[in-house]
Amino acid sequence: MSRLFQIVCLLVFSSLFAYSQTEAPAAVTFTLDFPASQPEHYSIRVQSDGSARYQSSGRISTDSDETDSFELAFTIDPETRQRIFDLAAKAGYFQKDLDSHHKGIAFTGKKTLTYRDAHSSGESIYNYSSNPAVQDLTNLFQSLSATLEFGHRLQYDRQYQKLALDEELKRMEEMARSNSLVDVAAIQTILDQIIADPSVINVTRARAQRLLERAGAH
């Protein structure tokens, strides 16, 4: 009987171990819907294994009615990933109402923070939150979106209007100097394409190279 008990325990343990190995990674998702901004909608999903996905949609430019969508799968910087999950923990994994509900605060977009893992979940919608962890998390995701949208515009400019690349990269350099960009390495592919493109002027290619070097990607 003892031998049979040991075998059953071993089988149960093996099954539990196999299950734990196939559990989906935890994920934090930030979504912004703000018709007056560009992009009008975006979402960033970051998983505990480092994989991330960005999706946005909106008008191509402020003077155009044409809409465009953008998707990018990337591996997020480990420090940025850790900070996101640390802040999510401090915010109680969004299981409570995060909105301040203060009257008179300007509308800056409908924001949604969501947490999911194999055992729990949380979601909260807010315009403005007085929770410091939520404020930090919002700022971090908005800075990450700004970086990824630069990649979106650079991709578009390289294909349709290469002369616009230099001005876009100049703006990126200015924001990088003020630490307003997060995880520039996430758009390394498009920057590498600009650097390697002989039809792009040397000054522009040099800007792309400096941005990657500053980010530690080259």
**According to the model, what pLDDT value does residue 36 have?**
81
What's the structural domain count of the chain?
1
**According to the model, what pLDDT value does residue 20 have?**
46
Q: What are the C-alpha distances in Å from 126 to residues 33, 100, 121, 133?
A: 11, 8, 17, 14
On whether residue 15 sits in a domain, the answer given is: no
Q: Residues 6 or more apart from 53 whose CB is under 8 A from it? A: 44, 45, 71, 72, 73, 74
**According to the model, what pLDDT value does residue 116 have?**
97
pLDDT below 70 — which residues of the chain?
1-22, 60-64, 217-218
CA–chain centroid gap for 132, Å, is 19
On whether residue 63 sits in a domain, the answer given is: yes
On whether residue 16 sits in a domain, the answer given is: no
On whether residue 20 sits in a domain, the answer given is: no
Q: What are the C-alpha distances in Å from 24 to residues 67, 169, 205?
A: 34, 37, 40
Residue 129, burial from CB neighbour count under 10 angstroms (0-12, 13-18, 19+): buried
**According to the model, what pLDDT value does residue 68 have?**
87
On whether residue 127 sits in a domain, the answer given is: yes
**According to the model, what pLDDT value does residue 207 have?**
97
* Kind plus residue range of the DSSP H or E element containing 165: helix 165-177
What span, in angstroms and rounded, lies between the C-alpha atoms of 213 and 208? 9
On whether residue 129 sits in a domain, the answer given is: yes
Query: Model's pTM, two decimal places?
Result: 0.86
On whether residue 211 sits in a domain, the answer given is: yes
**According to the model, what pLDDT value does residue 65 have?**
73
DSSP code per residue over 39-95:
SSEEEEEEETTSEEEEEEEEESSTT---EEEEEEEEEPPHHHHHHHHHHHHHTGGG-
Q: Within 10 Å of residue 205's Cβ, how many Cβ atoms? A: 19
The residues facing 126 across adjacent strands are 111
**According to the model, what pLDDT value does residue 30 have?**
98
User: CB–CB of 211/184 below 8 Å?
Assistant: yes
On whether residue 159 sits in a domain, the answer given is: yes
Segments forming the whole domain that contains residue 133? 26-215
